Amino acid sequence: MKKKSITATMITKQSMLLCCKLYISESRNTEAMETVERAGGLDPETVIIKKFEDRDYNRVRYTLVSYVAHDTTGNAVYSPLQQTVIAMVEAAYESINLELHSGAHPRLGVVDHICFHPLSRASLDEAAWLAKLVATDIGNRLQVPVYLYEAAHPTGKALDTIRRELGYFRPNSMGQWVGWALPEILPHIPDVGPTQVSRDRGIAVIGASPWYVTYNVPLMSTDLSAARKIARLVSERGGGLPTVQSLGLVHGEQSTEVSCILLEPDRVGADRVQSQVEILAAQEGLDVEKGYFTDFSPEMIVETYRKLVSGGEGKHGLMKLSI
């Protein structure tokens, strides 16, 4: 598709937007991160709104935004996000080897997780359309097995279900995930791509969903079993708060952390999660710090994007937050 005129593109940029959260299993290798970010800055029509990196987890998330364009019948036909995400994915595969990776956060691949969200006037169907295009590129051209989830999956299969089937939540070395931990022939057939895994790349999980919130609560204790117990009791799966998923993880030499996903933040927000963690931690005799969000709100992301594209700043909008 030919690039639109500047005026038409600006109108689109201000209205129908898609967001991509791109999770890469690396944050300690500065050279690799620079390579990935250079690839993400090649197209000024896509903006990296925020970078969140955690050295203990050895994981980074980039939040990217761009517009989605439609044909005369209203069907989505183009988004600059596709090209930018694939460029960053290729750069990650070229500069990071999963066999050499270790970290306190679970992962299944160098490019571990890609999620697309609708923003502004865009729809979940459009986010799913883009997720499937990216999955096809990664699975068929880059030959990495891809599992689809939620709106991108034919039956809406949940992300945590796929991860549980693949052993995502089981560390293979004293609270750490080290190297490739699954058989080279996968136990479940991927939705896209080969069934055999390259150990240096691993697999990717790609989906589309309504907006979710990630919120982490530090525990002033190195007792990982206690952190896991609290995480389980906070989560819906463990009989705790509805629409909350959580993990107890090592986070540095002096602390652990309850890492949470709030699937419906308007229903169960961070305040309730914080309060529940504090109650459960007190029962274990543990101190708790105030939790933190790992990303902006959708409203702030849209506002930041509009300011950047209106000012012609494009790729220079990256904001960094390290833990």
The whole-angstrom distance between residue 110's C-alpha and the CA centroid of its chain comes to 12
The residue among 138, 148, 16 whose CA lies nearest residue 75 is 16
The single-letter DSSP state of residue 154 is T
Q: Yes or no: say if 227 and 251 are a contact pair by the CB < 8 Å rule.
A: no
The single-letter DSSP state of residue 315 is G
What 3-state class would DSSP assign to 204? strand
The residue among 136, 39, 52 whose CA lies nearest residue 89 is 39
Task: List the catalytic residue out of 70, 101, 105, 117.
Answer: 105
Give the 3-state secondary structure percentages of the chain, helix then strand then coil, rounded to 5.
35, 30, 40
Active site residue 105: yes
What 3-state class would DSSP assign to 110? coil
CA triple 291-300-246, angle to 5 deg? 30
Q: What is the spatial distance between Cα 196 and Cα 177, in angstroms, rounded to a whole number?
A: 20
> Which positions are annotated as active-site residues?
105
